[in-house]
Chains A and B, each alone.
Chain A
């Protein structure tokens, strides 16, 4: 955190000054470790074993917050008899279809009831997986069954055992699941000595409970894995058991790495989402708005109002064309038939199906996994538009990329047309960023951009205007294919020399308006009858009263510690989500020290320092009648109002594609076998689709050839550079501060492999060979894993061939093997070899990789097994 979010780290230091203990768990010793009370290096790729070990400690030592767990989680809920755990099935859950590599999530249900995930993958399985359509629907999640006319969302209440002793209650299942995650196992798997691990357990549990809370902070070190989602799930189980969610000083805090990466998930440029986490529709026969809503909404909680959110979005996009008669233009939405993530897009480019590509402030030639495949795919395009500040590697691979140097590609043979369009900076346009705390902050235009530089707002608006003009002329105007784009609301006011669209007008549309055009102030006003329009329901209220709430800047020192009048946080300007959990079941704060919101009996409403994340007048004593639906079904002790049952899910009965509980699996490429189960890797990771000669995988564990890649590699960032370098490597100041690509190795590894400090090393995987300057440092410590010494290699991934400082790209080494829930790549843990000296030049570079592949016996089958 001190490395990559240094200014946010000041608050950690404030806490430390007031007595907080800081524990840093990371393969490397960083600036964070230097300021922490305890640094715990572990083997990259083993955090589920580590966190699972803490869960085991909490359960076996009875350190959980019983009253919180009993009332606010699904610990007491009893599961279906069909459920079987990884403990029973040697590393897989009930419901695995080994042929198609998918789970039937119905084996994970609550007894007598089916529950659908509140967000995430509600439309689970109808996709490009092999098998007949009927099988797809049977394997599908709840939403799919409904879209095909299946049973209604479960009625009645799930069975509970308040004593938490029923063998099939979630609490007991959890205990059983993590029973073997002992300190001794953690030591064997993670390389963390049992006494150090015990210290972490003590520190965390001592600081959790009624009077104290602990926070977990993570970044992509937890997410960029084939089990990335389950890493974070383990953290949520732990924090929920300890009562650390919805309370001040608690939580699981994702530190995101780009100014508006949170915003670009909320208002997504993502293939599977519409604004506000409404899923993109999948293709089904005779799907209409009603069947989509039926399939995707849940019976109780705020997701029950899915129709209102969806219709309001369709009204915002298609205005007058979106009426009840036209099914609000639901048919105008394109449909998915599986995953269309950026990595499948690379395959579509290599196959020639995808002919044009926009890169909007993105440098996949350096920043995406398997950089070689990224560049080779771009070389197969008809056209490429790169919008950025400078000539990043993704704009110049055809001229001077590594494949030109190696002779694989010849500039003259590459047919791709490339447009470089200079982008406007944040000082040259107005708009909002959503920071890592879900807070929107407005930045104002200081000056107009010079020359041809333009904002994305300008580019998108004027591109749309031109396309609409071209399609609207002549016979095309009557073409049904063009109706969605011609009927689109696209009339934003522009101003200035460049005719820049008014970003506040766009914000106003995102916020939404009523039938009279009056700005809405809360998403609870949204209606499903077409009387409201709203571009992103969770952002409704950011332009309440026609005032740009994101531009509010009352100085922090002039307001409370919650600072509610600086910017605007979604939803409804709440700063701590699920903060009903900060009070006990009766509505009183768990302790005065940790008070955030509470029930005021006199006014009959919730009040406090933050805006209550609960039905404002819902008394703690309220219990819904059995037939209640939607918001009415939220009980007075259901803090998790977006969940179908109002409870935090220790066990996820739906919504995840790879299991209801986190399980330790080894990374795709690992020098170690899975000590816990016969199942080596996540059985449903997304990998077979990426079988490709440019994406060869490595033998793992005991497989022959695994010893060819004996070291574990992890990639990371440095304080002085930014992601793929487009905003840092081209700046002299930052380039002077971190002038060269390097690899971090321990003195022991340096001795073992003859690496010299400040000399060169070549790092090799089954995908590529790259070179880096050697940094011999005790910041990376050898670990003892499964009885043998493990060396790890650290690689910052910022570099490429352009800019003030140049170097090879770490991502050329990485492979495409993805988490099945969110399709994120595994680049935080993989196996490599390292050798002294510079890498070969020209075709010899590829030859070296081929030699490694041959020595390890790598074929197109390697690493592809279940």
Chain B
């Protein structure tokens, strides 16, 4: 490093010789800072997404490195949101990658006082058996002599945070099973 470069690297020197007289801009920048790049700059992939909270539908860019989501930011291309996100939307990274999320199935047996672990495949089989059983127990071919072809044995609630495709399959399957108590936050 030449002496000149060395001197020019002093913030005080730059503060005196450049327009940044208060030393709150480029004059204060160190070489280390200058080398920094945002984590989004090196992402392997930018995946287009939509904020999962309210129904404004703000555009999100999801940044992925090494098969991990590293950052979620507003999508400036969106004519809805023009790149902005609110406090909740800005917390999407913590929502999706934070410690609060559980990744294992939990099971509580009848009368049980604690959670137990359960294999996903086993849980799916147990749930399928219970649906079949409750469906049959609550089955009504008719009510007051009029055909109903339905079950009151099980019910479902949810879906406003889910995708259209998911709601479509839920309604399709449960209706085919004869369930009518299929409900959604949209009622509430």
B86 and chain A: residue at smallest CB distance: A6
In the bound complex, residues from chain B placing their C-beta under 8 Å from that of A439 are 57, 80
Known: A437-B57, A446-B64, A734-B87. A421 touches B172 (CB 8 A): no
Nearest CB of A to B140, in Å: 9
Any B CB within 8 A of the CB of A418: yes
The CB with the most chain A CB atoms within 10 A, among B56, B151, B154, is that of B56
Q: What string of 1s and 0s marks CB contacts (under 8 Å) between B126-155 and chain A?
A: 111111101011110011111111111111
Q: What string of 1s and 0s marks CB contacts (under 8 Å) between A320-347 and chain B?
A: 0000000000011111110011101100
Partner of A7, one of B84, B98, B112: B84
Any A CB within 8 A of the CB of B19: no
In the bound complex, residues from chain A placing their C-beta under 8 Å from that of B151 are 334
- Interface contact B129-A470, CB-CB below 8 Å: yes
In the bound complex, residues from chain A placing their C-beta under 8 Å from that of B7 are none
Any A CB within 8 A of the CB of B2: no
Any B CB within 8 A of the CB of A689: no
- Interface contact B165-A435, CB-CB below 8 Å: no
Known: A259-B53, A391-B102, A420-B102. A456 touches B84 (CB 8 A): no
B67 and chain A: residue at smallest CB distance: A447
Interface size classification for chain A: 35 or more
Any B CB within 8 A of the CB of A429: yes
- Interface contact B161-A259, CB-CB below 8 Å: yes
Any B CB within 8 A of the CB of A614: no
- Interface contact A462-B124, CB-CB below 8 Å: yes
Any A CB within 8 A of the CB of B51: yes
Q: What string of 1s and 0s marks CB contacts (under 8 Å) between A444-460 and chain B?
A: 11111111111111001
- Interface contact B177-A467, CB-CB below 8 Å: yes
Partner of B163, one of A261, A274, A431, A450: A431
Any B CB within 8 A of the CB of A255: yes
Any A CB within 8 A of the CB of B12: no
- Interface contact B168-A355, CB-CB below 8 Å: no
A824 and chain B: residue at smallest CB distance: B187
- Interface contact A422-B103, CB-CB below 8 Å: yes
In the bound complex, residues from chain A placing their C-beta under 8 Å from that of B62 are 427, 446
Any A CB within 8 A of the CB of B100: yes
The CB with the most chain B CB atoms within 10 A, among A259, A340, A448, A454, is that of A259
> A786-832: which residues lie under 8 A (CB-CB) from chain B?
803-804, 822-825
In the bound complex, residues from chain B placing their C-beta under 8 Å from that of A360 are 156-159, 162, 170
Bound CA–CA A624/B94 (angstroms): 59
Any A CB within 8 A of the CB of B54: yes
Q: What string of 1s and 0s marks CB contacts (under 8 Å) between A395-429 and chain B?
A: 00011000000000001111111111110011111
Bound CA–CA A268/B167 (angstroms): 7
Nearest CB of A to B160, in Å: 4
Which of A80-88, A97-105, A719-727 forms part of the interface with chain B? A719-727
Known: A428-B96, A446-B62, A556-B77. A335 touches B150 (CB 8 A): yes
The CB with the most chain A CB atoms within 10 A, among B64, B103, B132, B165, is that of B165
Known: A271-B181, A419-B105, A506-B169. A358 touches B154 (CB 8 A): yes
Nearest CB of A to B38, in Å: 18
Any B CB within 8 A of the CB of A284: yes
Nearest CB of B to A144, in Å: 13
Bound CA–CA A8/B91 (angstroms): 17
> B60-95: which residues lie under 8 A (CB-CB) from chain A?
60, 62, 64, 67-69, 72, 76-82, 84-92, 94-95
In the bound complex, residues from chain B placing their C-beta under 8 Å from that of A447 are 64, 67-69
- Interface contact A265-B186, CB-CB below 8 Å: yes
Any A CB within 8 A of the CB of B104: yes
Partner of A356, one of B59, B84, B100, B131: B131
- Interface contact B161-A727, CB-CB below 8 Å: yes
Bound CA–CA A728/B81 (angstroms): 21
Q: What string of 1s and 0s marks CB contacts (under 8 Å) between A499-539 and chain B?
A: 00101001101100000000000000000000000011001
In the bound complex, residues from chain B placing their C-beta under 8 Å from that of A341 are 183, 187
B105 and chain A: residue at smallest CB distance: A452
- Interface contact B173-A464, CB-CB below 8 Å: yes
Any B CB within 8 A of the CB of A196: no
- Interface contact A348-B152, CB-CB below 8 Å: yes
In the bound complex, residues from chain B placing their C-beta under 8 Å from that of A434 are 164
In the bound complex, residues from chain A placing their C-beta under 8 Å from that of B162 are 260, 264, 360-361, 431, 456
- Interface contact B166-A7, CB-CB below 8 Å: no
- Interface contact B180-A485, CB-CB below 8 Å: no
- Interface contact A426-B169, CB-CB below 8 Å: no
Bound CA–CA A382/B147 (angstroms): 27
Any A CB within 8 A of the CB of B37: no
Bound CA–CA A412/B180 (angstroms): 32
B141 and chain A: residue at smallest CB distance: A481
Bound CA–CA A729/B142 (angstroms): 45
Partner of A317, one of B53, B76, B176: B176
Partner of A727, one of B60, B95, B137, B156: B95
Known: A362-B158, A556-B79. A443 touches B49 (CB 8 A): yes
Any A CB within 8 A of the CB of B6: no
Known: A259-B52, A259-B55, A269-B171. A361 touches B160 (CB 8 A): yes
Known: A334-B175, A354-B152, A412-B111. A348 touches B160 (CB 8 A): no
Nearest CB of B to A689, in Å: 15
Bound CA–CA A7/B125 (angstroms): 43
Bound CA–CA A534/B57 (angstroms): 26
- Interface contact A355-B177, CB-CB below 8 Å: no
Partner of B124, one of A267, A367, A466: A466
Any B CB within 8 A of the CB of A739: no
- Interface contact B128-A727, CB-CB below 8 Å: no
- Interface contact A357-B156, CB-CB below 8 Å: yes
In the bound complex, residues from chain B placing their C-beta under 8 Å from that of A10 are 81-82, 84
In the bound complex, residues from chain B placing their C-beta under 8 Å from that of A804 are 100
In the bound complex, residues from chain A placing their C-beta under 8 Å from that of B16 are none
Partner of A264, one of B102, B132, B152, B186: B186
A382 and chain B: residue at smallest CB distance: B134
Any B CB within 8 A of the CB of A622: no
Any A CB within 8 A of the CB of B179: yes
29 CB-based A-B contacts, threshold 8 Å? A262-B55, A264-B184, A266-B164, A271-B183, A334-B151, A335-B149, A335-B180, A337-B148, A345-B157, A367-B188, A382-B130, A389-B101, A411-B113, A417-B108, A422-B102, A422-B104, A422-B105, A433-B55, A433-B163, A439-B80, A441-B50, A443-B163, A453-B103, A456-B162, A510-B165, A555-B79, A566-B79, A730-B98, A733-B87
Further pairs besides A261-B160, A389-B101: 16, Cβ < 8 Å: A259-B54, A264-B164, A265-B186, A269-B158, A334-B148, A336-B180, A337-B143, A359-B157, A383-B134, A414-B111, A416-B110, A431-B164, A447-B68, A510-B165, A551-B48, A553-B78
The 8 closest A-B pairs by CB, nearest first: A431-B163, A556-B79, A435-B57, A451-B103, A360-B158, A334-B150, A356-B154, A258-B160
